[in-house]
Each structure stands twice: as C-alpha cells, then as structure tokens.
C-alpha cells in the first residue's frame, strides 16, 4: 500500500555546505549514524554525498579528505528528489529507474527537509522483510 513520503522519510537530514571537508563529513556521518548527507548552500540542494562517494571519489583516488570538499565529490544535479506529498510508489519507481537507494525530500523551492531510503520503504511496505530487519539493526560502531 502506497503512503506519502512525509510518513516514512527521515526528517532533518544531515546537511553540509559544499566547502565542508570530506573528513568533517565522515565524522558527521559517524556521529549521526547516517550513510549520506545533503550538500546544500543557503537552503538550496547542491548535491548528495554518500559514504561510497567518500571511498570511491576521495580515498580510492588518493585525495586528501582534509582538503577535499564535499562539493567537489558529491553527486551533483540533476539530483533526483521527492516532495513530502509524493508517494512511496513514486519513490520506488525513481529508485529503480536511477539505481539509487536514497532520495532527498525537498519542499517547494528546493529546500531539503529529509531523506527517504530503500529501507524506509521496505519497512513500511513489509515490516517483516529482510530490509526492514536490517534497517532496525544497531549500527556497526
């Protein structure tokens, strides 16, 4: 059963400015127990930076995470987004089409308000699924 994104999204996603160092982003990810951050400037979505982006676009390319900026390695527009009024069916369709596991949720005007993940949708649609179990598990620390 499809639900509105506002009912399943994680609110208040972690956001950083484009000039934030990748090292600082990695620390925020650990502190906030998230695998991605929104890169925004003056409430406008600039891009999305994932833990995988840090590994592939920074560490694996021998770039210094203390001097490399989030804006230089994040996935940049067009970033696929949802609004709080979109449905989980729409989210699943976009995730499938663009092969992504997370989508930023933005209000009219592009202000980021949250993020929805594949696990959020799985846990909502089938609370007994493997993905739902994984999303409830304690993070590795």
Nearest to 25 by CA among 61, 57, 62, 60: 57
How many other CB atoms are there within 10 angstroms of residue 99's CB atom? 6
> Which of 65-79, 86-100, 127-141 has the least mean pLDDT?
127-141
Q: What is the CATH number of the domain that holds 43?
A: 3.10.580.10
Q: Answer whether residue 137 shows pLDDT above 90.
A: no
Strands (E), the chain: 10-11, 15-16, 36-41, 44-50, 102-106, 112-117
At residue 71, the pLDDT reads: 95
- Give 6-41 pLDDT, tens digit per residue: 999 988 788 999 999 999 999 999 999 888 899 988
Q: Residue 133 above 70 pLDDT?
A: no
pLDDT tops 70 at residue 139: no
With a cut of 90, say whether residue 84 has pLDDT above it.
yes
In a domain? residue 89: yes
CB 74, CB 39: distance < 8 Å? yes
This prediction's pTM = 0.76
For residue 141, being part of any structural domain is answered with no
29 in a structural domain: yes
* Burial readout 114-126 (b: 16 or more C-beta within 10 A, e: otherwise): bbbbbbbbbbbbe
Q: If you average pLDDT over residues 66-94, what whole number do you get?
A: 91
Within a domain: 97: yes
What was the pLDDT predicted at 50? 92
Quote the pLDDT of residue 135: 59
Residue with tokens 């598990």: 137
CA 130 to chain centroid: 20
Domain carrying residue 67: 5-136
Number of domains in the chain: 1
> Is the pLDDT reported for residue 141 higher than 60?
no
């Amino acid at each position: 059963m499809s639900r509105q994104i506002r009912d399943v999204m994680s609110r208040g996603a972690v956001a950083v400015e484009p000039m934030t160092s990748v090292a600082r982003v990695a620390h925020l990810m650990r502190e906030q127990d998230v695998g991605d951050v929104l890169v925004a400037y003056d409430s406008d979505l600039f891009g999305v930076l994932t833990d995988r982006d840090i590994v592939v676009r920074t560490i694996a390319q021998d770039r210094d995470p203390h001097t490399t900026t989030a804006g230089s390695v994040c996935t940049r527009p067009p970033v696929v987004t949802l609004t709080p009024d979109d449905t989980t069916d729409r989210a699943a369709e976009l995730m499938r089409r663009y092969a992504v596991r997370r989508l930023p949720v933005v209000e009219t005007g592009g202000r980021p308000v949250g993020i929805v993940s594949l696990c959020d949708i799985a846990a909502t649609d089938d609370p007994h699924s493997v993905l739902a179990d994984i999303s409830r598990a304690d993070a590795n620390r």
